[in-house]
A and B are shown apart, each in its own frame.
Chain A
Amino acid sequence: MAKSISTFEDWIEFFHQWQKDIQFDTTLLGDFHFEAKFAEEDSPVIEFGDYKGRAKWNTLMQVPNQQVRDALLNLIVYQGDTEFASVEQQRHLVATAPSDYDLKSIVRVMAEEQRHGWQMSYLLVNHFGDTGKVEAKKLLERRSWDQERLLGSFNEPCDNWLDFFVFTEFVDRDGKYQLKMLSRSAFSPLARSMGPMLKEEAFHLGTGHTGLRRILQAGKIPTDLIQRRFNKWVPTAFDLFGKDRSSTAHWAYVWGLKCRYDELETDTPVEKENLNDYNRNLYHRECVELATQLNAVLPTGEKQIRIPDLKFRRAIGAYADQRWTVEGEKFTGSEADWNDYLAANLPTKEDDALLAEIFKSNDWIAPKGK
């Protein structure tokens, strides 16, 4: 195997080695074909930012300056990193799929996440010269379980199928937001990469939402245990949108690289200094609607599941490392009280033990195949 990457074929060799290293069973893929897919151009001209109205850039040479090129490279690297990371997090779950169709679903999700990583690597290798080739190789060298992935959610263990469904419902949903925000990028190869990826992502999100609905229908996993899983994952998904008042997001908008989630649908004037929070709020609203749909499955009188408040357990931004409750109230107790509060509201060893017991029978997820 080549020690460094000269062509995309070299990268493909590293990719196959990565599959072996993380013990991904490639025989599960069937006739799934890894390839770079590009949609038709939505618009030949840049649609937002300071270059609005000018022709989109098809090659790196057309990108106006090095700062913009660096920002673009960074966006693609972060996107690619999440794709391979999620496969590392989920790969061991194939052994415990609750049904053959769920097995097909998770294999499909992991295959498509790998294809998304392939797509980002294809851009890096073919458009970004030596730097891009080095970055494409590094995408396959960082490991989620060594906490080397670039974003917090992707270094968290995804221990079981409940985690998988919560992850695909909320963390993959952040992925939908990121992909849509890149789908109007001034860099045409990146923008045209997003349509096929978003179509595939719809299946991942549906898998998460349907899986959670089926779990609630079965009624075997206590809702407070599920709530603790929400409390673990959702704040990490909020963090994925980046810092409040981010200059990186500001510049990415100014340069036409990444827009707002609803850029083409909204008449709201853009607040460039507050983009991450704007998108995070749209995401939060969507999550609350999803929770409402899930709660509709619960029997009357059952405790409802809620989306944690935007302030709870944040690792970045204005509320980072502050003490706020799941409901968004300021926590006023001592440090010891806070640790007790977290212990009561985040997944516990007892939860894991109970889940292991519940997963022994096949009735924890509906339908039961009557």
Chain B
Amino acid sequence: MARERAFFLTEEDRFFEEVPRLFAANQARESTRYEAVIYALKPQATSDAVKRVAAFVGAPQPRETEAVARALNQAIATSQYPSAQALLEFKGLGIDLPLATALVHFFRPAFPLYRVEAVASLQALGYAVEHRTTLDEEGLGAYEGVVAAIDRLKLRIPYPFVPESNCFLTRVVEGALVARALKL
């Protein structure tokens, strides 16, 4: 089957072949900042964790970081991958959906960061996904679509194209998608 694919390469097959290079390019771009966040977090989220994650994604600092940290701990405790419904804990706290996904991602790495670039690459690969910023039911549905698409890529990617890294496969795929959109 691998040989058949060699003659009928899809966009997805080409992407898989590019994953090691793309992931490395994205790591070169942001791994220092990413690792400074992920290795500094404690099991229970604090205001400091919220500030670090917000700074990483370039979001404005939430006004009530302690309330966000409490909501984050609740979301971590109740999240059931791949459902994103636990993110509703952040509703009314003045943070948008991409920041909410980032907060959960750093504590539950199976949940991908929800970024415009990753969504653009998924669309280019033929996935009917969209990027939304509002934290509501529709937004969560759109995010769950991205989670499902990345899950499918994780399942389908052949092992020779999975680079060795101390990152969950979700992060590898998401990072490669971002690099693809940025043409790194």
Contacts and interface: CB of A to CB of B under 8 A. Distances in A.
Interface of A: 31, 39-43, 99-105, 108, 183, 194-196, 198-199, 202-203, 205-207, 209-211, 214, 367-370
Contact of B167 (A42, A102, A103, A206): A206
Contact of A40 (B1, B36, B42, B165): B1
Contacts of A101: 38-39, 41
A195 B35 contact: no
A105 B165 contact: no
Interface string B136-174: 000000000000000000000111001111111100000
Given A40-B1, A41-B1, A199-B169, A205 B39 contact: no
A79 B38 CA distance: 33
A211 B39 contact: no
Contacts, number: 70
A269 B93 CA distance: 66
A131 B164 CA distance: 36
Contacts of B159: 39, 183, 194-196, 198-199, 202
A31 B80 CA distance: 7
A206 B39 contact: no
A104 B167 CA distance: 11
Interface string B5-39: 00000000000000000000000000010011011
A369 B166 contact: no
28 contacts: A31-B80, A31-B81, A41-B1, A43-B1, A100-B42, A101-B41, A103-B43, A105-B166, A108-B168, A195-B159, A196-B159, A202-B159, A202-B165, A203-B166, A203-B169, A205-B164, A206-B164, A206-B167, A207-B166, A209-B164, A209-B166, A211-B166, A214-B39, A367-B32, A367-B35, A369-B36, A369-B40, A370-B36
B3 interface: yes
Most-contacted residue by chain A among B36, B80, B157 (CB, 10 A): B36
User: For this complex, into which size category does the number of interface residues on chain B fall?
Assistant: 20 to 34
Interface of B: 1-3, 32, 35-36, 38-43, 80-81, 107, 109, 157-159, 162-169
Q: Would you call the interface of chain B mostly helix, strand, loop, or mixed?
A: loop
A289 B114 CA distance: 35
A100 B41 contact: yes
Nearest to B79: A31
Contacts of A202: 159, 162-165
A158 to B, nearest CB: 18
Given A206-B166, A209-B166, 5 more contacts: A39-B159, A108-B168, A194-B159, A367-B40, A369-B40
Nearest to B44: A100
Nearest to A365: B39
Contacts of B165: 202-203, 206, 210
Contacts of A211: 166
Contacts of B40: 99, 367-369
